[in-house]
A and B are shown apart, each in its own frame.
Chain A
Amino acid sequence: MADFIQLLFNGLVTGSILAIAAVGVSIVYGVLKLVNFAAGDFLTLGAFVTVFLSVDRHVPFVVAIFVAMLTIAAISVALEFTIWRGLRKSKAGTLSLFLVATGVSLIVRQLILIIFGVGSRKFNVDQVKTYQFLGAQIAQAQLVVLIFASATIIGLGLLIAKSPIGKGMRAFSDNPSLASVAGVNVDRIILATWLISGLLTGLAGVFQGMVQGSFESTMGWMLLLPIFAAVVLGTIGDAYGALLGGFVLGLVMELSTWSIFFGGVPSSYKPVVAFATLALVLLVKPEGLLGYKARSI
């Protein structure tokens, strides 16, 4: 039972991080029809910028986090102006967008290596302190992440449901031509999308770094597969679906290591579990958890 509580808790923590990152990827897809392969590496960059500021430059942790989030948002917006806008104008197809995004991802990862070095890094947060809860060991860092991530998710849900920007984003991803006819300011929606996605990605990176303890340049790439799995699971482009997909996958990944399931899956196989789950769901429901039916072949 204690095992179960422990894994459930771990699953919620992982799930909340996946959910935040997945929403960032999903809204970009919804509005721009772009599968952002660079998200994983931007996530890493967020963690590295934070560690650089807070540990190396002694900036207060919270301030460092905000600066890191803003950095990722700023880079995302800058890329919109330098790359994505032009590609959209020239009506680039899915493949072009894919390849350019992969190119960006490679460049960001190498830049992290050049700027911050190869070694693994750690935040100045207490990694040792744990609380007992129904027999489970709950690390302080995990608890902090879960609380702040939950707050972010609630805020995000409200933002998407209630704010004009959120409504515009949803209208635009449902039907771009109709939305622009209906007077939605397309350029503003796109910028807001990049901004929000960048902030979320940076934040998810910091959270993941805190939970993991130490991290290196490949952190984001390792997380990218589960993030994509969450996005697809929740139907690509659907922000609420991404939240749901994130939690479902977080729980499945952690609970799969539970020893009562044939001794449990080794924890290095967690990303494999994420994708096996996704493959199963897609076999049954090719359009994702919340998608419509449509069959062609």
Chain B
Amino acid sequence: MSTNNILEVENVSIAFGGLKAVNGASLTVERGTITSVIGPNGAGKTTLFNLVSGSLTADSGSIKLDGTSIEKLKPHQIAHLGLIRTFQGAKIIKRLSVLENIVLAGQNNPGEKLWRIMTPKVRRDYEEAAKEKAYGLLKEVGLESLSDSFAGILSGGQRKLLDLSRCLMADPKIMLLDEPFAGVNPALVERLLTVLNTIRAKHSLSFLLVEHDLETVMNISDKVVVMAQGQVIASGLPGSIYDNDVVVDAYLGSRKRNS
């Protein structure tokens, strides 16, 4: 396998009771690229994310992040290695301010050690730098005017923007975004896409996206992986997906015939 892969998922499976939610799925993400996983509801996309990010432990299979095996690690350990994920529907901490939501994501914050109560200067220095950086990230997505409000008051779209900048605060190597465009109006989809493209250029990041709908991610994806019933049924360049018979039958079929 090419060493240029930031993420390598090989043959992972997990079952809930009798249901094989992910069944021998494999995929790779090349450094600096955007890979999108698409598939109908219940295909196992979110479960695959949970496996990669450590929220669930796979029954079998291997997952490598930048060459390190992570399939046995806990979510926070995987995050430390540079994989940061979002959750479907943008989970924000409602009772922290918008700025604090972002500062929360900072890594190696000395103030998170209880004994650092004894070294106020170290804490304060980090905190000031972190707040400045967080504010900059908020500016990138245009939320700076809300920085001191409770995040609970944000609209759905604003939450997604906050979620994106929060991930960036952690300086990840790869970001996993679960349906970042779902339930978002077309204007905001445009905005999110622009933000994503800027981020990608500026922070030289790799992405793994999950989307329900192929059209949305068509233009920004370098590679598309199609899942159905827990299995990867096809992967390749976005354009090639339309020509794949299996995919057409399983997933795109009805729509293609209609259009």
Contact B17 A295 (CB under 8 A): no
For residue A132, CB closer than 8 A to chain B, the reply is no
Contact A295 B16 (CB under 8 A): no
Kindly list chain A residues whose C-beta atoms are within 8 Å of the C-beta of B56. Answer: 295
Kindly list chain A residues whose C-beta atoms are within 8 Å of the C-beta of B57. Answer: 295
Which residues in window 51-90 of B have CB below 8 A to A? 55-57, 74-75
A296 to B91, CA, bound (A): 15
A205 to B75, CA, bound (A): 46
For residue A292, CB closer than 8 A to chain B, the reply is yes
A297 to B53, CA, bound (A): 12
Which residues in window 134-186 of B have CB below 8 A to A? none
How large, as a class, is the contact surface on chain A?
under 10
Contact A296 B55 (CB under 8 A): yes
Kindly list chain B residues whose C-beta atoms are within 8 Å of the C-beta of A295. Answer: 55-57
* Minimum CB–CB distance for A216 against chain B, Å: 46
* Minimum CB–CB distance for A51 against chain B, Å: 47
Contact A292 B55 (CB under 8 A): no
A169 to B6, CA, bound (A): 49
Kindly list chain B residues whose C-beta atoms are within 8 Å of the C-beta of A293. Answer: 16
A137 to B135, CA, bound (A): 77
Kindly list chain B residues whose C-beta atoms are within 8 Å of the C-beta of A292. Answer: 16-17
The chain A residue with its CB closest to the CB of B57 is: A295
The chain B residue with its CB closest to the CB of A296 is: B55
Could you give, for residues 275-297 of chain A, a 1 whenever the CB lies within 8 Å of some chain B CB and a 0 otherwise? 00000000000000000110111
A155 to B56, CA, bound (A): 40
Kindly list chain A residues whose C-beta atoms are within 8 Å of the C-beta of B74. Answer: 297
Which residues in window 251-297 of A have CB below 8 A to B? 292-293, 295-297
A232 to B169, CA, bound (A): 40
The chain B residue with its CB closest to the CB of A294 is: B56
A295 to B56, CA, bound (A): 6
A-B contact pairs, 9 of them (CB 8 A): A292-B16, A292-B17, A293-B16, A295-B55, A295-B56, A295-B57, A296-B55, A297-B74, A297-B75
Chain B residues within 8 Å of A, Cβ to Cβ: 16-17, 55-57, 74-75
Shortest beta-carbon contacts, A-B, top 3:
A295-B56, A295-B55, A295-B57
Chain A residues within 8 Å of B, Cβ to Cβ: 292-293, 295-297
Seed contacts A293-B16, A296-B55, A297-B75; 6 additional CB < 8 Å A-B pairs: A292-B16, A292-B17, A295-B55, A295-B56, A295-B57, A297-B74
